[in-house]
Structure formats: C-alpha cells, structure tokens
Structure 1
Amino acid sequence: MVTIKDIAKTAGVSHTTVSRALNNNPLIKLETRKKIKKIAEEMNYVPNFNAKSLVNQKNYMVGLFFSSIDQGTSSSFLVDVITGIHAVLDESYSLSVEGIDEIRALEQINFQRYDGIIIMSQSDHDEAFIDFVKQQNIPFVVLNRPLEDSDIINVLANDAEGVTEAIDYAIQLGHERIAYIGGKDDFRSSNERKQGLIISMKKNQLPINEDYFFKGDYSIESGFEEMQNILQLSPLPSLVFCANDDMAIGAMRAAAEQGYQVPKDISLIGFDDSKLVAYLNPPLTTVHKPVKKISRTGTELLLRMIDGEDISPKQYRVKTHLQVRQSVAPVEN
C-alpha cells in the first residue's frame, strides 16, 4: 500500500508537507498542492481514514438531524441541504442523516460517533432534542429556524421578509383578493410565511379575510386539495400564495383540471425556488430560499467549532429574494 512517506520521497518534500497538501492546507502553495495531488493520483494513493482518525482523535462523522424526513420535508429541500453540506465537507467525512421524529429515546443516541451535529429544525417540537444535544458538550449548529437561546449557533433565512416582498409585488400588480395555502401548523416556517403575508396586506391597507386562509401540509397533494376548495370561493381570489413550491405545483394542477388558466384566470406564487418550478407551464414565480447557502454556512461554522474555534456572532441571517417568472399577471380593471 502506498503511504504518505512514499509520496514525500517521490515529490522530494517532507511527509508533513504531503499531509498538508492532501488536506488542502493554505500554508502549502497551490502549485505544490497540485503537484503532490498529481503524484498521489499516479501512485494510486488511498487515504487511510482510520489512521487519520486516531492521529487527530476525530471520528470524521457529522450527524444531520431533520425535524422529520417523511412529513413536511420535500425531496428538493432534502437534496439542497445535503448538497450544501457536501460542498464544504471533504472526502474524509461521512454524513449520517436521521429524523428527529423517529428517535424513540434520546438517551440511546451514540453521540460519541459524531464530531459534530447539524440540526435542520423545522418545528418548535425540536426544542427537547436541541436542549439534549446542548447537554452533550458536542459542537452543533441549528439551521433554518430562529432560536430563543442566544448561545447556540443559528443560521437561517428571513422567511417572513421574503413573503412580504412577494405579496408587495403582487399588490403592486393590482391583486387585492389574496388566498393563502399554509404548511404544517407545528412548523415555524409556515407561521412565519403566513405572518409575512399579513404584514404586507396590513401595510397596504387591505382587509384580512380568514375565509381565504387554508391549511396544507407542504405536500403536492395538499396543495391540490386546498386549491380545489379555493376555486369554490366567491368572489374568487385573484392570487394564491402557497407556503412552498410543492403545494404550488399541486395548486396549479388543480386549477388546470377545473379549466382555469394560470395566470390568466388566477395567479400563483410559491416559496423555496426548487429546480423543477422554472420548468412548469407557466414557470412559477416564487421566493428563493437559499437552502444550499444556509447549509454551507452552517457546515463551515460547525467545522470551525470542531477545530476548537469560538464562533461569534451566534446568529446568521441569509437573505431571500423574489424570483419573478410567468405565474403572476397584472389585474385588469
């Protein structure tokens, strides 16, 4: 088996230099790093992560915990989170993905297998798990949901601000009768997004009609079902805001099945900006939530904590933006 010492001998450098180069240490010049990596590749060098773990006293394992894998976590959201994390983790790290709602007993979790924990929190019900992790004296970050505890590293987007921007845009185009399809009640994101809509409507002095507020569960099916109910309203809303893109996809399908054209007859706005929605007919106007950036930022902060660095500030906000496409049309008087 080829070792670091073999590469060092061929490259004419110390084994310390080789080790640093293979780990992308900035102390080693880029040109030297490329040269050493090329030699390692030509010699078919395979890193011995077990030996590396013993030397560094690390497990090279990060735990990713979602509020729920099955309920309220869309496949696109899951993929974006994992993609963002893997953009930061090098090949020596493994990632374990778990659902908090699937844990039967917190005491049974083996935290010794992890160097650090990423909690992708969607629900207030996660508080017990977060408090338990905090007691384990292990580096961890909480992403996606604001926390009251100012001692915990927290990375999130301002969902309410993003929705307010979207509804302001719709109102500027003449929309006044606006319906809302929300997500799961126990998910903080659903409440924040509803609040963003209400803020915009109050700011623009529009009446809040509770008959136009519907509860989904972030699934395509719930968007379809609630849109069927919305289309029975009189007067019909001119625009429907869906608290995520999956529900907007279901809503668009329901409208088409009942003979309504988007945006000619009714306009639609989603939230998340998943890859699929740019290819719908019409392409969906939606709030872009930078899930990958949130995940990247959280992972970068976690790795710094694992290396013993004290992180300050503790809370990081990542900005959303409105992605305007063709699913919203101006209201004709």
Structure 2
Amino acid sequence: MKEPRGPRRQRNVPTISDVAAHAGVSPMTVSRVINAENNVRDETRRRVEEAIAALNYAPNAAARTLAGGDDIRIGLLHSNPSFAYLSEFLVGSLDQASRSNVHLVVEKCEDGGETAAVDHLLRGRIDGVVLPPPLSDSLPILKALEERGIPVVAVATGRAPEWALSVSIDDRQAAYDMTRHLAQLGHIRIGFITGNPNQTASAERLEGYRAALAEAGLSAGADLVADGMFTYRSGLDAAEQLLERDDPPTAIFAANDDMAAATVAIAHRKGLDVPGDLTVCGFDDTALATTIWPELTTIRQPVIEMSRQAVELLVRAIRSGKGAAMDRPHVLADYELIRRQSDAAPRRRPTARKPR
C-alpha cells in the first residue's frame, strides 16, 4: 500500500522555485546542484549554493521531483471563453495527468489579473505550467513564468518563445484548406468571422482564408470579413453583420465552432436554410459541432490529444531536467477537414426577368 504523504510545507517556507528566482536560474538547475550533477558551471553552482544558504532552504520532495520522482504538480492556467474547447482541453489534461502519475492544479485567470493568477498558482509549489489559448499568447504571463524559471508548454500558439515548449497545429494551412474547399464547391462570396485579435491563431486563420481566396481569384474584400472574439455572442453579431450586406456571402467560415454555431442560429432566425441557402463551417471540431443541427463541417483540431501531449511533454521535461532543450520542444499536431451536413454547393437561382 502506498505510504501516506508527509505534511505539506507551510507557504512561508522557501521552495525550490524561490531558490531558483534568488539565484537567477531555473528550478531544474537548482535540482542539478542539489543532486551534485556535473553539468553545472562553477559560477552557477556557487550562486545556487549561496541562494540556498541565504533562504535557509532545505531540499525536500520538490527537489526529488525535478530529479525524476513522481511527486510532480502541474498547473493549468486557463481563461478560454469557449466552454466546449475548455471542456475538451480539461479532459485530455486530466487523463494524461493520471497516466503520468502527477497532480494537476487548475486555476482560472481573470482579465487583468495575469500576475496575480501566476503568483497564486505558484504558491502551491507548481513544477510546470500548461497554458491553453488565449493565455498561451499572454506576454505578461509568459514573462512572469520565465522570470521564475518555471517550465511552460504553450498550446495552440504561433509565437511560443524560444525558452518554452509548445503544441500546436498549422492554423494557416488548415484555414486555407477549408476556404479552398468552399471555393471548390462553387462559392464565390465566402465570408469569414475572425477570432480574438490577441491570439496568434486568429491572424493565422485569417491569412489562410485570404491566401485561398487569392489563389482562387475570389474577392477578399472587407465586406466579407466580420470581427469575432471566439465567443458565441460575438458570432451572433458577426453573422448578423455579414448577412445584412447588400450582397451577402453564400458561405461563412467562422474561426471556431462557437461562432459557427451562432451563425447557424442567425441563419435560422432569418429563415435561411443551412446549407441550402447558406453554407456554414467552423474550426476545432468540439462537441458543439455535432450537437447542433445541421452538424458542422469543420476543421478537427485534436484538442484532447493536444492537451495530453502538452502534459506529457511538460512532465518529460521536468523529469529529464532538460526543459526546452529537449529533442522535440515544439510539437506540430495533425488536423483534418471534417465534412458533415452544413456545407453544400451554392443554390442556383433563376435570373430575374426584366419587366416589359
């Protein structure tokens, strides 16, 4: 039978992260010094030893964690407006945490409270952090974690810093593929609903959309693009704008499933048949894509698998003590275009006769 764990440290007792911050190194480096490993420069070793003495730090399970033990605590900091996306991300993270025999600590970050959220999370002796979007693009959070020497895996970002690990897909190519698919169906006016401008995935998907239109010789005018924020509410407003145009699109590609579902709702409200009058496509293939009618044609971003890979990558980095110096610090996951019932060729309407 597994022995019960000893009492947890009091929060006013210095941790390995405190030593790392005091010495200006990573927690993995502190672990190497504690375990008398040879791959540490003399000057670095001296700074760590001085920090240990200054803080009166006593190595405990935290040091053994970084040396390869199983007492690892992974933080997951989230602030995703899409409940469907976050639910799938949590499923994968929790599953992999159980497989890897580590603890997963989930913390929500409120708008404007990035630094406070990081401080609160790290007070629980966190050995590494997984950042799903949009926080994977948050410069304040990434900077705060880098300064504290905490290993990080940024998920679904196109601009992961060199020191961090990452898991993502090729958002630009995926959006290009979907837009090209719509053009090949015969759609000439293809609308697009963007995502949150603070997320790199938004810009990547917009670029892919525009590239496919340019290749097909189709218009990519401003009247075909509406701003969204990856939320259902923003999708309602954006779809309303696009469908109120003098020459509305016959197909709308939304940058995530939440906004695509909102577009379907607006189409139904206006008496439009989907896909007879309007083709609607999404991105992510969350559970929402198959719980509305008609079911969404979408890009399958393997959210559950990506979150599993993120936890696995982070645990491996912590246990190996190599951090971002691993062989595969940046994982590119596969995506797939999934066709369901929400897309079709544009309906051909008879040309109106001129009055005699």
TM-score normalized with structure 2 length:
0.73
2:291 and 2:343 mapped to 1: Cα distance? 15
Superposed CA offset, 1:150-195 (max 9, x none): 3321111111111111111111110110111112222222211111
1:96 aligns with 2:106: yes
Structure 1 279/109 Cα, relative in aligned 2: closer, same or farther at 3 Å?
A: closer
Matches of 1:293 and 1:51, distance apart in 2: 34
Q: How many Å separate the matches in 2 of 1:259 and 1:159?
A: 32
Contact 2:75-2:106 at 8 Å conserved across structures = yes
**Range that drifts further, 218-227 or 161-170:** 218-227
1:137 maps onto 2:137 in alignment: no
Question: Does the Cα contact within 8 Å between 2:76 and 2:130 map onto a contact in 1?
Answer: yes
Evaluate the alpha carbon distance shift between residue 165 and residue 52 of structure 1 in structure 2; reply closer, same or farther with a 3 A threshold: same
Q: Tell me the equivalent position of 1:231.
A: 243
Is 1:48 equivalent to 2:48 in the alignment?
Answer: no
User: Compared with structure 1, are the counterparts of its residues 218 and 289 closer, same or farther at alpha carbon in structure 2 (3 Å cutoff)?
Assistant: same
Percent of matched pairs sharing the same residue: 25
Which structure 2 residues correspond to residues 46-125 of structure 1 after superposition, within 5 A?
Answer: 48-50=4-6, 57-58=64-65, 60-66=72-78, 68-69=79-80, 73-90=81-98, 93-99=103-109, 101=111, 102-105=113-116, 108-109=119-120, 111=122, 113-122=125-134
TM-score by length of 1: 0.78
For residue 60 of structure 1, report the CA deviation from its aligned partner: 3.5
Q: CA deviation at 1:214?
A: 0.5
Q: Is the 8 A contact 1:272 1:286 kept in 2?
A: yes
Taking the aligned partners of 2:110 and 2:119, their CA distance within structure 1 comes to 13
What amino acid is aligned across from residue 77 of structure 1 in structure 2? Y
Alignment: residue pair count = 285
Q: Residue 322 of structure 1: which of 331, 337, 347 is its match?
A: 337
Using a 3 Å threshold, how does the CA distance of structure 1 residues 179 and 130 change in structure 2: closer, same or farther?
same
CA distance in structure 2 between the partners assigned to 1:155 and 1:178 by the alignment: 30
Question: Are 2:258 and 1:246 aligned?
Answer: yes
8 A Cα contact 2:137 2:159, kept in partner: no
User: 2:286 aligns to what?
Assistant: 274
CA RMSD in angstroms comes to 2.4
1:214 is aligned to 226
Q: How does 1:178-193 map to 2 (within 5 A)?
A: 178-193=190-205
After superposition, residues 305-316 of structure 1 pair within 5 angstroms as 305-310=317-322, 311-316=326-331
